[in-house]
Amino acid sequence: MTAAATHPIQTTEASFARAKAHATKVEGILSGGEMIRKPHFDVEQLLDEQGREWARLMLEEHLALRAALEKKVDVTGAEGVERTASRDSERQLETLVGRVPVSRLAYQAPGVPDLHPMDAALNLPREMFSHGIRRMVAKEAARASFDEVVEIVRDYTGSSIAKRQVEALAVRAAQDFDAFYEARAATRDPKGDLLIISTDAKGIVMRHEDLRDGTRQAAEKSVRKLETRLTPGEKSNRKRMAQVATVYSVARFPRSAADIIHTLRKSDDVDTKRPRPTDKRVWASVEKSPRAVIREAFAEALRRDPDKQRRWVVLVDGEPKQLRAVKAEARRADVRVTILVDVVHVIEYIWDAARALFGESNAKGESWVSDRLLALLTGSSGGDIARTIRWWAARRKLDESALAAIEKSCRYLADRTRTRLMHYEDALRDGLPIATGVIEGACRYLVKDRMDRTGARWSLTGAEAVLRLRAVRASGDFDAYWQFHLEEDHKRNHASRYDDGVAPNPLPAPKPRLKRVK
């Protein structure tokens, strides 16, 4: 039996000679009497610096070997013009191990840009920073400020990069986000778990020119009472809302109203038995409209359940525009959904009423809230709870602020659109989730933790890029996304510039040999 193999590239004695000489020099330093007496930190620092230089020399000589092996090929551009002339050329590449020159042939013709087949073979970016640097920037910009990324790149690679370059690289790294998720095969759930969609919004402080039109006009019309801070009642008009969405699967979990009350009080182990979300994808956009993001969420759910055989549940906080968008997208997708208002959001309004009735949080107020919640979870409607709150309010002497709080809570609870979405008794019996913990966590992680730093003012492109990069990390897709991004980069930067979308390979074809396999 035989198998195909390839001969190794023939190198000369001079190949990688500088790297070998450098390694020998470092070996001499490490075995010298002075270094023998140094603390280990000094040894680490030497190896970090000199090891990086050794790696840089290895990369430089590898690229030189490629250049020496480059053969002339027929080159025709995408516009149909053949490049018949060629010349030696060189460019610089800033990499994880330092800057290296890249020598290659440039193919030319009058009136058209040069083409470099070796750049395509190496999948080099058009600009100076390598994909290794770009990957580091993409991962770090998702969690650290752009200023911190500048320091991280310098400390770990020795490369110098400006803050503005960090933002530009983050934007380029995130450009294939939509295409990646559209192309990715959706996970099918053979168990038929619940399919959950949830969405919410979170504000991001933006540069004035990147605010939405209405917010920007309000900001231009507003007159600040104080120069250095906002006074009570003043709106900042500085934020643009990012719409956050999540789609995931979860097993049914039937439970009783008592289980919910006990879980809130942390008095039993109900929470330890709760099934965890699976196949969770979270994302956010400050650039797209809320309706567009909600449409994407339904599209993601349809990819997972194209035959619409599973139970779809949509969890919301009850904001009217959001509700209208969810209902419209459900009709558009022609799918039956169960829409539930987040019970934790409802509890907050009940607590607002309790504080108006009984003062700041206390045991009496807590007991009163528990009774109202138990009623809500066992079949009472939001309107019933609102009537009960008004009954209590009518029998107490309350000031204007307390009455205003009561009225606000009752309006929320008694709203006909929302109260139809508070069928918690049925939801608990059917094992459906009734709280938006996943989307609340996504709002905090995707938006607040990174975007809401003191003094930060975002550009629209920068904010959108960071949200996308945080989303692929939070969804556990970063490595798969990066491989997809590299392939798309090759199409954009190289394949698209050649006739028939194929860049000629300037390297010699491998010489096959047959090897006997026992």
Residues of the chain by 3-state class (helix, strand, coil), percent to 5: 50, 15, 30
Residue 43: which of 34, 60, 30 has the closest Cα?
30
Find out whether 176 and 140 touch, Cβ atoms under 8 Å. no
Given this model, what pLDDT does residue 4 score?
40
Query: Tokens 């000679």 appear where?
Result: 17
Query: Tokens 């400020």 appear where?
Result: 145
Given this model, what pLDDT does residue 21 score?
95
**140 contact partners, CB below 8 Å, separation of at least 6:** 148, 149, 152, 153
Given this model, what pLDDT does residue 6 score?
44
**301 contact partners, CB below 8 Å, separation of at least 6:** 195, 197, 247, 312, 333, 335
Find out whether 103 and 65 touch, Cβ atoms under 8 Å. no
Q: In what order do the strands lie in the sheet with 312-316?
A: 278-285, 239-250, 194-205, 312-316, 337-341
Please list the alpha-helical segments (H only) found in 288-447.
290-304, 320-333, 343-358, 363-377, 382-394, 400-414, 416-419, 424-430, 437-442
Rounded Cα gap, residues 351 and 355, in angstroms: 6
- Residue 8: count of CB within 10 angstroms of its CB: 8
For the chain, 518 residues long, give each residue's pLDDT as a single digit of tens: 334 444 455 555 578 999 999 999 999 999 998 999 999 999 999 999 999 999 999 999 999 999 999 999 999 999 999 999 999 999 999 999 999 999 999 999 999 999 999 999 999 999 999 999 999 999 999 999 999 999 999 999 988 999 999 999 999 999 999 999 999 876 666 677 999 999 999 999 998 888 877 776 776 666 555 555 555 544 466 899 999 999 999 999 999 988 888 655 554 555 567 889 999 999 999 999 999 999 999 999 999 999 999 999 999 988 899 999 999 999 999 999 999 999 999 999 999 999 999 988 788 998 999 999 999 999 999 999 999 999 999 999 999 999 999 999 999 999 988 999 999 999 999 999 999 889 998 899 899 999 888 778 899 999 999 999 999 999 999 999 999 999 999 999 999 999 999 999 999 887 766 566 65
Given this model, what pLDDT does residue 274 score?
81
Sign of torsion, CA 58 60 62 65? negative
**Ramachandran region, residue 312 (left: φ > 0; alpha: ψ -120 to 50; beta: rest):** beta
**286 contact partners, CB below 8 Å, separation of at least 6:** 204, 206, 240, 241, 242, 243, 458, 460, 463, 464, 467
Classified as helix, coil or strand, 464 is helix
Q: Which residues pair with 205 in a beta bridge?
A: 239
- Residue 500: count of CB within 10 angstroms of its CB: 8
Kindly state the tokens that stand for 504: 């000629």
